[in-house]
Structure 1
Amino acid sequence: MQLEHDGLMALVSLLRTDALHVIHPCDIIEDVAISYGFNNVEWTFPKTSSIGSQFLLNKLTDKLRHDIAAAGFTEVLTFALCSREDVSTKLRTKLADTKAVHIANPKTLEFQVARTTLLPGVMKTIHSNKNMPLPLQLFEISDIVHKDPETDTGACNERHICAVNYNKTSGFEIIHGLLDRIMQLLEVPRVKDNTGYYLKASDNPTFFPGRCAEIIALGQPIGYLGILHPEIVTGFDLTLPCAALEISIEPFL
């Protein structure tokens, strides 16, 4: 196997057990350093210095995760891949409108596309725990993936919050209260201008007609909340009403 970089070429023997893992000049440099001996390398100070710190997005995620759990919700962690039906048919939307990133050679029917919303994963978790005592109040803070032709890879990640209340009654007031709590933590006031947030009536096919609102924050739409459509509930083999919330937190960075 041949590896070339900046006019220099290295031949990697296929007899090596890790030959297929030699894919970068750093792998060759590591072999040279091992041969020369790490203890023989002269210690020098780097020309530049930096201090490591946590990404702002991850720091915000950790703080929100802690406070949402303190509000009585249980965190779940679901798969980043799902089936095509999970992001289209089961949510009463067309697959072409989801901007989903498809897997070229999926191994199973459950992992065909990258999720464009966190809702299917949370609903599947409720289905797996529907025999547990009510209410089930679950949430997840993770990345979704959607197509973006402006990026080098043609796709990008976006950090979302999704919360679902599953009970004998929908509990819309609980989800609405959670939204207010999240905005309070983010120090975003409830005003109708570009400095705050407000709710706007919307017709989203995933939610029950007349029971859905689009969330506008800092002058841009960030998500939806409302009571899920009965077809969504039955599509995930559930029998009780659900109120759900899903928003993007990246505009608040």
Structure 2
Amino acid sequence: NSNIILYRAEEPKKIKYTPLGYDRELTADEILELTDKGRKYAHLVRCFSKYPHLVTDKGQTLSMPPILNSEDTKVEEGTRNLFIDITGTDKYTVEKTLDLIATTLAENAECIGLVSIVNGNEVYYTPKLEPVITKVSLEYIRNNLGMQDLTREDIISLLESLRHKVEIVNDQMLKVISPPYRYDILHPIDIVEDVAIAIGYDNLKPEVPRTFTIGKELKKTKYLRKLREIMIGLGFQEILTFTLSSSSILEEMLELEKSKHVEILNPISPLYDTIRTSIIPNIVMFLKANQHEDHPVKVFEVGDTVVVVKGEPQTRTKLAAGILSYKVGFEDIQAVLYSLADNLGLNVELEEVKLTPKLFIEGRTAKIIVEGEERGIIGELNPQFLLEKMGIEYPIALFELDLTDLWEKH
């Protein structure tokens, strides 16, 4: 009986308790050798010199996670109070699993108690039971369902029937607050799916469009195809790299704070743990891998990036082009930019950069201004940075241009 429970690592010889379903004490190593659960999951802890140990401040062992609980934790018919312990290697997953179990049990329980977690100087309470918040427009819901006659009140009522709380942001936008156990909601399309479920799939009747239409390319598709043709005509080769990138590369190369890019919760590799905010690192890494090919190496890429603006992620379509050669300078890449702008009918000006990023050479870098709006950067890369940090032996000049919505204006 204790209100203080410690989660720590102990040497196997110091762990001794009666496992669940047994009538005598066993050491940690005996549990791994003699019990079914121990033999099955021994590989999870055998490689460590210390094992996880959940114990009260009075020395009563509750569990050796993730192997086996103690007999003291046995749940019987008369059990009134449950202490839920969840351990794992990913904090987010552990917390969400606890939310799910706690809210499920709450259906038949009087209340959910909070546990104070002390981790060094950090103190917080679990379960956190933080709601899942999604912003979605009425137009997005109607268009995806093909039901233009759905009123705002209809949509709110349908979502509330599935335990969502809905707040009106403005005439076209809703803020949907979902229960903490709904961590399956990852995107606004999941809210659309819940609206469809609330309506009932059998009640969604397919309709023949009233107006006969012929499919055609989007303005964006035609604009980007023309841009690609221009760049190829200027002697560049198109490359296609991953949209996922490395946060360490973004922070090192672009001096980007963590709050300025979107991180992946469960990346398969540190090389792909964030969504790129810029195509410049991709161009530089490609040129590094091909620096010993015939010079000049001239490449470009057009693709999507995601930037964080005022806490909200925004998708931006960008073009980046770079030249690596024995002798290449600002004038070479500037001529490419001006030629591209002339062919696209863009009014492009260059302005001095007040604070030069360390990736570029001071005095050989400029901001790209399109129609009076800052849209990118152009310049020569810092040879010291290229050689010492990247292992690139030759000069590089490049530019990056934000193309977002230019297809609507030109």
Tell me the TM-score normalized by structure 2: 0.48
Taking every aligned residue pair, what percent have the same amino acid on both sides?
Answer: 25
Q: 1:53 to 1:149 in 2, by over 3 A?
A: farther
In structure 2, which of residues 193, 196, 217 is the aligned counterpart of residue 54 of structure 1?
Answer: 217
**Paired position in structure 2 for 1:35:** none
* 8 Å CA contact retained: 1:186, 1:252: no
* 8 Å CA contact retained: 2:376, 2:401: yes
Structure 1 unpaired stretches of 5+: 10-22, 33-40, 189-195
1:55-204 aligned at under 5 Å gives the runs 55-91=218-254, 93-96=255-258, 99-149=260-310, 154-188=312-346, 196-202=347-353, 203-204=355-356
1:154-202 superposed Cα distances (whole Å, 9 cap, x missing partner) = 31211111011101122322211110111111212xxxxxxx3211111
* 8 Å CA contact retained: 1:84, 1:112: yes
Larger Rg: 2
- Does residue 213 (structure 1) correspond to residue 366 (structure 2)? The answer is yes
SS state at 2:270 partner: coil
* 8 Å CA contact retained: 1:166, 1:240: yes
Structure 2 unpaired stretches of 5+: 1-156, 163-189
Q: CA deviation at 1:236?
A: 2.5
RMSD: 2.8
Q: 1:140 to 1:232 in 2, by over 3 A?
A: farther
Q: CA deviation at 1:96?
A: 4.0
In structure 1, which of residues 223, 226, 229 is the aligned counterpart of residue 379 of structure 2?
Answer: 226
**Matched residues, number:** 214
Tell me the TM-score normalized by structure 1: 0.75
* 8 Å CA contact retained: 1:90, 1:236: no
* 8 Å CA contact retained: 2:318, 2:403: yes
1:10-68 superposed Cα distances (whole Å, 9 cap, x missing partner) = xxxxxxxxxxxxx8559x959x9xxxxxxxx9x97422343322221221111101110
Give 1:141's aligned amino acid.
V
**Paired position in structure 1 for 2:88:** none
